């Protein structure tokens, strides 16, 4: 009897490992699936700015936002992540990557070595970008100056440092679906929705997360604790500050960082504005139109400040 129980447990364990292995296989984009494509460098620049690539990957504490040697520290409840070098350097950056490897990284969160990237790389949002935009982005990045030097390794404790486990996270929180336009909405609204939810990855900071680090879908864009551990990220649905802003106010803020009240964006949002300020007036208007259309969603309660004295 005991032998049968032990055998059954062993078989169940093997089956469980098999299911785990199958669920966590890193997804890739096959080179053969990419149709012939003539890169559009101007569109690649738009994708670069909309995606906020410089915000994380520019070398910290220097003025050139196109010096993409990485190194920015990104603290989180799961450890500290460091943005990698994505310059065209052949040894330390992405200079030897193929186009398919880059598309795989951005849309699937899988490295050229076939390992899962940690979701500090916001591929859960980037997955909604078009393949054409990602291919143009790759072509644009290859025109920039190579930067030597690798960023330091992530400081992530066990068990979060086991990359295979990220496959389970992806299974729970990454649906693999590109953006689907809403035929009932205007072209401007759809463009804004695409930028906000895809390349712009606004929900990555402006949404609360559960204990696994996944966005709470019912409170998407409703604000919450700063993922970097300090402060509070505002609710950008019509339940938050934007409820009192017009579409023009929102577009102007994304262009200049100036609020209708005369305040100026600070912190990590200042880095975002340095990117969105490079977008066209049409793209900013579309993002503003989409954000203004969001229904009011109640976010998590903000902690009360401790009384001094």
pLDDT of residue 308: 46
How far, CA to CA in Å, does 154 sit from each of 76, 83, 163? Answer: 11, 9, 12
Backbone dihedral angles phi then psi of residue 80, each to the nearest 5 degrees: -110, 125
What is the spatial distance between Cα 184 and Cα 138, in angstroms, rounded to a whole number? 32
Residues of the chain with pLDDT under 50: 308-309
How far, CA to CA in Å, does 136 sit from each of 22, 44, 130? Answer: 32, 4, 10
What is the spatial distance between Cα 116 and Cα 281, in angstroms, rounded to a whole number? 36
pLDDT of residue 309: 45
pLDDT of residue 229: 63
What is the spatial distance between Cα 222 and Cα 299, in angstroms, rounded to a whole number? 5
Burial of 56 from C-beta contacts in 10 A (0-12 / 13-18 / 19+): buried
pLDDT of residue 290: 96
pTM tops 0.95, yes or no: no
216 within 8 A of 210, measured Cβ to Cβ: yes
The beta-strand segments (E) located in the chain are 73-76, 79-82, 224-225, 232-233
């Amino acid at each position: 009897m005991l032998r049968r129980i032990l055998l059954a447990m062993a078989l169940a364990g093997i089956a469980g490992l098999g299911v785990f292995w199958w669920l966590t296989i890193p997804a890739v984009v096959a080179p053969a699936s990419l149709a012939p494509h003539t890169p559009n460098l101007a569109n690649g620049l738009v994708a670069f700015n909309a995606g906020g690539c410089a915000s994380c990957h520019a070398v910290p504490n220097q003025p050139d936002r196109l010096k993409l040697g990485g190194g920015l520290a990104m603290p989180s409840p799961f450890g500290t992540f460091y943005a990698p070098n994505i310059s065209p350097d052949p040894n330390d950056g992405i200079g030897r990557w193929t186009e398919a490897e880059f598309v795989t990284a951005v849309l699937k969160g899988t490295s050229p070595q076939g390992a899962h990237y940690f979701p500090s790389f916001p591929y859960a949002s980037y997955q909604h970008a078009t393949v054409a935009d990602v291919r143009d982005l790759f072509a644009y990045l290859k025109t920039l100056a190579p930067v030597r030097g690798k960023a330091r390794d992530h400081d992530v404790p066990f068990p979060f440092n086991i990359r295979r486990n990220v496959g389970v996270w992806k299974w729970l929180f990454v649906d693999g679906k590109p953006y689907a336009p809403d035929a009932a909405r205007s072209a401007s609204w759809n463009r804004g929705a695409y930028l906000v939810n895809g390349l712009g990855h606004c929900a990555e900071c402006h949404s609360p997360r559960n204990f696994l680090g996944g966005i709470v879908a019912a409170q998407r864009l409703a604000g919450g604790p700063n993922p970097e551990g300090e402060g509070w990220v505002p609710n950008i649905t019509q339940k938050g500050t934007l409820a009192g802003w017009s579409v023009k106010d929102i577009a102007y803020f994304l262009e200049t960082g100036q609020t209708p009240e005369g305040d100026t964006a600070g912190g990590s949002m200042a880095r975002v504005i340095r990117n969105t300020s490079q977008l066209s007036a049409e793209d900013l208007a579309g993002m503003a139109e989409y954000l203004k259309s969001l229904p009011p969603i109640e976010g998590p309660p903000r902690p009360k400040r401790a009384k001094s004295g």
